[in-house]
Every structure is written in C-alpha cells, then in structure tokens.
Structure 1
C-alpha cells in the first residue's frame, strides 16, 4: 500500500469516526432531555443501570442507524478539504487515475461494511432486545393489550397439525379453551382439548388442565380424560405474536428460522420480517455507494468551496433516507416484492453514483 493510500485511508476512517462521535452525543442529549422525567419517576433506577442497560445499547443501535449519514458527510468533508488544499491536483499531476485514486476509499468502505454487517446481523438485535425490555419495564411504550393478549388464535404447526386457542395471555403464559388436532388428509385422527393451558418457561413444557384426548381409528374411538397433563409442542408463547418490533430483537439466523417456521404454519404476511432481514444487508452495502457518490461530488475544487458540497451532499442523504423509509413501508405491505423494494434505493443511488463516476473519470 502506497503512502498516499495510507494517508487517504487514515483520513477516511478518522473523519468517519469523528463525525459519528459528534452525532451520537447529540442523539443522547436529545434523548436524555425527553426521558429525564421518566428516569426520575423510578427511584430504584440507578445511574449505572441507565447507562449499562439503556444508553450502551442506545449507542450501538444509533451508531448503526447514523452510519450512512456519518460516512457520507465525512467523505464529502475531507475530500473537499483535499480539493481546496490542491492536494488532488498534485495527485493528478503524478499521473494517478481517478479509478486508482478511489482505491483507498473502497478499502475503507469495505472495512466499514464488514463491521456494519456483523453488527446488524448479530450485535444490534441483542441490543434491541435489551432496549425493549428496559422500555417495557420503565417507559411502558409497548405495554398494550395487543402485545400482551392473543384472542381466537389458530396456527399450523406442520403438515396436518393445527392448534387453536380462544385466548392467551403473553405476560401470564396462560390460555383457555385450547385444542390440538392431527389430520391424515381430510380425516381427523387425533384431538387434544383442554380448558386451560400454561407454559412453563423453565422446562419448555405446556401444562394442560381438564384435558380430553380423542384418538380416532377405523372402527372405534378412544377417549381419555383427566385433570392434569404435561406435554411438549413445537411452539412457544412468543410464536403467537406477530408484531414488527420482535423482528428487530432476533439475530439473522433466528429471524430466518422464525420466517421458515411461520411459513410452514400458514402465516400469510411476513413481509415486515423480510424488510428487517433485507435491511440488515442493504444498509451496510450502501457504504460503497455513499463513498463513491461523495467522492464524485467533492473531488473538484468549486467556487462555493466546501459549503456547496456539504449542502448538496446532505440534501442527497436525506433523499436517500426518505426513499429507504418509503421502501420499508411499501415492502411490508402484503403482496409486495419486498426484496426489490428494499434494494431499490441502493439501485437508484448506485446508478447515480456510477453515472457521476463515469463523468468524473473523464
């Protein structure tokens, strides 16, 4: 690696981290001002718990959220500075092509992308889970009936196997009027009913009260009744809920497994979960697009100086973020092509970046 490559790469990563470290304290300051009264309501909540359980995970989440914005602004900032200091003119005088000039930028973009992919797929979901638990315990923003109570729920567990629950409390892990049925084609061969069903998290078993088992043979039926019966089913109370924020709490492996199980269980619209899965890859990949776009916008010295580059860059960045949010909303709609919509902002801005690259190369 040449001295020039090391110099640009150092400036690339340094400017990116500096911009990110500026944005994160601003986000923390705004969040503290909004939540300070909620923190003070809980006298048993220590400063250490707030920092460890809330703000550490808050930083992890928002660092990944702000990554494209921080990267774009930082590349425009230090590339404009190189242009204003006539350093890029010196680089061109040394017969270094524009494509070769981009090499250290893309090395830096690769480092950021690999790190962001790891964070998005494995670390951020765990942070989101901790944030949600803290939120439920102290802020109660998710503490509503829809997310704590399931009514008239049916689900397919596998081929020919179905369950039905009249109502189930997610917080209490208890439900009523439960039935489990097995079919051979259209013919029922087994049915289990219970007045009450309780989930034991400790050993992952279900405890049935006032149960009745019915086995159906060709020439007769077998019926068994009793007061208590413990059994295992291949679902848990969490599988009864289909709310968007749950997808943010699963690692990508868990999310893929959840989607496959849900498809087998006959859940019709899983697009909100696909949106979260695809977004974890598209956002880090945008590092390459944002880098190329920022360099093409700022490598020439302009009369307006760095200010005009920053204004154009921030405008494009907000258009990109807006485009992504629209794509996420449309992608979650039943029947939409989620993958196409989630990748669309990258396709559009990638095409723009490539066009500017060809233009700048000349």
Structure 2
C-alpha cells in the first residue's frame, strides 16, 4: 500500500511538471532563439534542469494531496476500505502507511527546500540574467543605499550599478560614540572581484582629532570593506538563491548592520520547513475526505480536494505577503496556513474516526 501511494504521488508529479515546462518553453522560445551561442544542452542543463527541480518541489504538496485523494477514492470505490474496516483495523491504523509515505516525502522536501533548490535557483537566475531578462528587468541598480557595517562604521552610496559593479557618490564614516572620527568620500567606486576590495576614484578623506583635522585628496585609493555588491540587493527574491545556512547567516549579518524589514527573508526561511510539514496535514485531510464511498465517485472527492488545495495555496500566498510586511510576525505568518488546515484536518479525522 505504501509503494502504491508513493507511486501515485510521483505519477501525479510527472503529469504536472511537463505542463509547466511546455508553458514556459512557449513563453521563452523567442528569447532563446535571439542568442546564437545558446545551445540546447546549455538551456537544458542550466535552466530547465533547475526549473524542473524548483517546480517539482513547489508542486509536491499539490501532487501529494491529489494523489492521496485519487488513490484512497479508488480503494473506497472498490470497497477495500470497507473490507479493512470489517477486519477491525482502526482508521488510525489505516493511516499508518500514508503517514510513513508523508514522512518520506517531507524528508525529501526538507532537503530540497533548504539546500538543493536554492543552489538550482542561483544557477537558473544567472541564466535568466544573461539570456532572458532585459536590462530593465534585471535587478541592476541600487539608489540611495545606507548600510551599517558594524557598531561604529556606516556607508552611503548614491547610485550603484550591478551590471558593471561601479558606484557613484560614495561615503564612508567611522564614529566614536556619536562623534565622527574619520570620513572618506569619493566620486566613483569600482568593485575589484579578484582582490575582494573597492577602488575609489577622486576621493577626499578627513581625520578628525581632538585638537585638529587632517584632510587629504587623491585620484585613486584601494579600500577593503566588510560588504560586497551582493549585499546591496536587499530583496526577498534574493533569499530564494541562498541555502538555509547562508540565508540565516545573511539575516544575522544584516540585522547587525541595521538593515530594516528583513521579514521577507524570515518568511522564506520559515516556509522551507513549514511547507514540507504540510505533507502530513494534507495527507490527513485527503484520506479523511475520500475514505468513504460517495455518490459521484472519485470526481466528487477530487473536486472537494482541489477546492481545498486552492484554499491552502491562497492562504499560503496571503501569509507570504502579510509576513513580509514591516512589524509583522514572520514566524507566525509562515506557519498560519498549516495552523488553519491542521484544525480542519483534526476535525475531519475525528469525524471519520467516529463514523468508522
């Protein structure tokens, strides 16, 4: 029974994934053909392999839910559930193979969510930046950026281009309490990726001592700072490209630097655990809904299940939006869909248990 359940899940997944691939190919084929140097193998390896990993992981709860309903409805229509009940096997015992299967799927999804999919997203996004997105679609420019590097140092950049790693109107200041003790400004800055530092052009620096100030000017100055151009992109979409250990490190580092509203990153991190755990909740709902033979057969159960699944997706999207807002509780919002549907699952479970 466990093998048949898992086979139904992956069969459903293999039906959904090609649909997503075909839709994506139809939307992007003209963009692929614009690049003479872009080979089929390159598209398959760097884009569609990671595309499939992302959507397989995204569709896994949906596939689990639909497969569970169809598999259990088939058992019910063949009166196998009645036979199991007649053998004095409780509904709780009947659920055991489902929960073993849900545990396997949850473990796989946890590994995918926390490590595999983010690495794939990073490769896929690099491909999209180079071959699919136009310059206006790229996350290419940052304006009026402030960053606190540590307790006593801050930077300000008027404009920074991520296309050529060049910034304009740069300012760096060090403080002793609330008093400025050192400040340097530059018209231009260029990130030297090879050496891991910034090259400042047309700069002016000022040392402030208790009894005097010292001012110096120059054409070029190499400066090492505790940030890179990647740190300039404070956006929730970036979180999808970081494994969970790097994401946690990034959140901690950004909080220390005084970056405001990191809730989008928190929600992404928490959902990487909450979504796999939903396999248990959705499995319990699906079995409870479809373990009884109904007039109308599998179609009625499937319609109820799909409606329930759309409600779950709706609550999940609302939770992401609300959880990313300033001053919201990101942990609670990330788990809110699971909390709501856990209540529904428990109600359906006890109802079915009493009827059994």
Q: Same fold (TM over 0.5)?
A: yes
The partner residue of 1:164 within 142, 148, 156 is 156
Partner of 2:21: 28
Q: Is there any run of 5+ residues in structure 1 with no aligned partner, and where?
A: 1-7
Please say if residues 24 and 63 of structure 1, whose CA atoms lie closer than 8 Å, have aligned partners that are also in contact: yes
Distance 1:33 1:209 in 2: 47
Partner of 1:104: 97
SS in 1 for 2:241: coil
Distance 1:139 1:41 in 2: 9
The answer to whether structure 1 residue 56 and structure 2 residue 56 are counterparts is no
1:266-314 Cα deviation digits (max 9, x unpaired): 2221122122112211111100001000000011111221111111001
1:33-90 Cα deviation digits (max 9, x unpaired): 2222222222221111111111101100000111111000000111111111121222
Per the normalisation by structure 2, the TM-score is 0.95
Distance 2:28 2:209 in 1: 62
The partner residue of 2:139 within 130, 133, 147 is 147
The answer to whether structure 1 residue 130 and structure 2 residue 123 are counterparts is yes
Distance 1:318 1:179 in 2: 49
CA apart distance, 1:352: 0.3
**Structure 1 residues 1-362: aligned runs within 5 Å:** 8-140=1-133, 143-144=135-136, 147-362=139-354
1:295-345 Cα deviation digits (max 9, x unpaired): 000111112211111110011101111111111112111122222122111
SS in 1 for 2:148: strand
1:225-249 Cα deviation digits (max 9, x unpaired): 3333222111111111222321111
Please say if residues 198 and 222 of structure 2, whose CA atoms lie closer than 8 Å, have aligned partners that are also in contact: yes
SS in 1 for 2:45: helix
Aligned-residue CA RMSD (Å) = 1.5
Distance 1:311 1:146, change over 3 A: closer
How many positions carry a matched residue from both structures? 354
Q: Which stretches of structure 1, 4 residues or longer, exceed 4 Å deviation after superposition?
A: none
Per the normalisation by structure 1, the TM-score is 0.94
1:6-53 Cα deviation digits (max 9, x unpaired): xx2111111001000111111111111222222222222111111111
CA apart distance, 1:145: 7.6
CA apart distance, 1:212: 3.2
Distance 2:301 2:215 in 1: 78
1:104-145 Cα deviation digits (max 9, x unpaired): 11111111001101101111111111221111212215x328
Partner of 1:5: none
Distance 1:48 1:251, change over 3 A: same
Please say if residues 129 and 138 of structure 2, whose CA atoms lie closer than 8 Å, have aligned partners that are also in contact: no
Please say if residues 204 and 232 of structure 1, whose CA atoms lie closer than 8 Å, have aligned partners that are also in contact: yes
